[in-house]
Structure 1
């Protein structure tokens, strides 16, 4: 076990992401972001002081590019330190996800009032709607980022207020990644706007909702596969699936990291780290390492050994 702590960093580590080569770890806080290289004896190779509150980040498979969503879509070339910024509609909310092969980007932008916007599938080399592989308009607000799942598909969750029912309606729309064509549309349980996570085999999608983790079957979003509750009064703060798909890791607003067995959805193991309240979690792609970030700017990295 090692603890990473960049000098002067006291921010809340809200996002962690291992590079595909398992040699680097990206950590984002409300005070900026860092890329730690040379795991496990890591040093901060890149520091991004102006990048705060990043909600989603993705590495392309060869680990050369890092893509983030701070203010504008930004592609960081880690080989030479250059950046490409793609200003879209600044008054719109922006979401993105990277296709599994690392060559295509899904970009969605919406306006809350009135609900409108667009979604496009673009090349990573030129992620602009004008040169999109396909694009289309959106007539509903999006609750979550477009999220790639198995079988060259992606999922959107649309939400709106239904006056006749006096409640919000949440509809999961599965579309083709290649064409954008709508394949399935079904109402399902509400999950919060925290970017959801998906098992490596694409069977389950999980998100945070109030004090619970909601797990949904990708083949049937109409009902939850599991609802996970904490064994204390603390809210879950972050989740990630282990690459094997056997475990879902979850941090709480305390010092613990829990691993839930995805066959029983029971707690299989609990780790306690004395570095502050836990805010984020990630697993290395080879499944060997786990990392958890705290509200003190510290990140603990350990051998998962499961």
Structure 2
């Protein structure tokens, strides 16, 4: 187990490189930190954020040589070979209130407010973003947009805004085709707050958290989610699937990482680190390492059993 130091602040995201030999972390309103885990000197490379960070947007390129992170109005990329960082500000995000890029980097879903109130789907083609579809959201509230790792579908929470006190109404989970926006599945969600979402590596499941509750929907069925509660009543804060898809690692604000069997949705293990509240988690692509970030800026990397 290794404790990596960043800066005093909440760790918003952690991510491993494809070869599992590097790990990166974003600290709120501070910097992006990058460590080479093979180096005898574990001091990090410290990178400027370049804007306001959008949570869930830290990732390495397929070859591991670039590290990118999403900002509210674009994306910043650091080249590990040239040690240069560049920013991209697509015009399509100028009016976006939220946006999510798929892990493969070719599909993007953006949410726009005034003056248009639309949800838009984009595909990167011939070095430019081409819009594939458009949905009016003038009478619809949209939250927690999440693109599947394969880029073929996306999920979101929605609720109609026409009813009185609509902001107190329950959301509905929607799964749609990323290329056409065609609806694929719907699920119930018994809360007014739209929490985080993540797709299973195979796309056959999607999970979410709300306070001390973990929710899991089977796909393509959708419908009602299965629920698992925190056994110590502490709120869940983040989650990440093991690359095999058999385990789900869920952090909480009591220094604990809960490990669930994704089929039975039962807790099968836990790890406890004395790091204050945990706020981010990642599993290495080869499945041998895990990393968590804390509210006080520490990152712990450990070998999985």
**RMSD of aligned Cα (Å):** 2.8
Number of the residue aligned with 1:110: 112
User: Counterpart in 2 of 1:288?
Assistant: 288
What is the CA deviation profile of residues 110-144 of structure 1, one whole-angstrom value per residue up to 9, with x for unaligned ones? 22x7881231222187454xxx1523233233211
TM-score (norm 2): 0.85
Determine the structure 2 residue equivalent to 1:188. 188
Cα distance per residue 1:164-187 (max 9 Å; x no partner): 89762534433333x324042535
Q: Partner of 2:239 in structure 1?
A: 239
Deviation at 1:61, TM superposition (A): 1.5
TM-score using structure 1 length: 0.85
Note closer, same or farther for the CA distance 1:30–1:82 as it changes in structure 2 (3 Å cut). Answer: closer
> Please, which runs of 5 or more residues in structure 1 have no aligned partner?
none
Deviation, structure 1 residue 83: 1.4
Q: Distance in 1 between matches of 2:108 and 2:169?
A: 26
Looking at structure 1, the residues matched to 263 and 105 of structure 2 have their Cα atoms a distance apart, in angstroms, of 33
Aligned pairs for 1:20-169 (under 5 A) are 20-39=18-37, 41=39, 42-57=42-57, 58-78=59-79, 79-80=81-82, 81-86=84-89, 88-99=92-103, 102-111=104-113, 116-123=117-124, 126=127, 128=129, 132=130, 134-139=132-137, 140-148=140-148, 152-161=152-161, 163=163, 168-169=169-170
Question: 1:109 deviation in Å?
Answer: 2.0
Deviates more, 1:82-91 or 1:228-237: 82-91
- Worse-matched range after superposition: 228-237 or 70-79: 70-79
1:51 Cα deviation from its structure 2 partner: 4.7
Aligned twin of 1:211: 212
**Quick one: structure 1 residues 182 and 288, their matched pair in 2 at CA, closer, same or farther if it must change by over 3 Å?**
same
Rounded Cα–Cα distance in structure 1 between residues aligned with 2:27 and 2:52: 6
Structure 1 residues 141 and 40: alpha-carbon distance in aligned structure 2, compared to 1, 3 A threshold: farther
- Post-superposition offset of 1:24: 2.0
CA distance in 1, matches of 2:194, 2:20: 28
> 1:214, CA displacement in angstroms?
1.2
